[in-house]
Structure 1
């Protein structure tokens, strides 16, 4: 292959694997947990 030619890969080939979307679930659950903890702390210390 010469320098002018480019090899085109699919997203899966470029990543060398699948993307199961677990990162979104973990981030969403973490965000909800942190917001809940801050709400409890705010209510506890605001009195």
Structure 2
């Protein structure tokens, strides 16, 4: 971080303040797939058990 008078200049890495690795994408993708799988199982099970 640099100060020029009253202005403060920060790098993009400091401004972002987050993680730059792609691990979070994998975590979100895995969670999405697990949620879709669980809801599909619940839906199919309910459709098979419910009488016509």
Q: If the length of structure 2 is used for normalisation, what is the TM-score?
A: 0.61
Cα deviation for residue 33 of structure 1 reads: 0.7
> What RMSD, in angstroms, separates the aligned Cα atoms of the two structures?
2.0
Rg comparison, structure with higher value: 2
Q: Which runs of 5+ in 2 are unaligned?
A: none
| Higher RCO structure, 1 or 2 (CA under 8 Å, sep 6+) | 2
Q: Count the aligned residue pairs.
A: 44
Is the alpha carbon distance of 1:18 and 1:38 closer, same or farther for their aligned partners in structure 2, counting shifts above 3 Å? closer
The answer to which structure has the higher strand fraction is: 2
Q: TM-score, normalised by structure 1?
A: 0.65
**Structure 1 spans left out of the alignment, 5+ residues:** none
Deviation at 1:8, TM superposition (A): 2.2
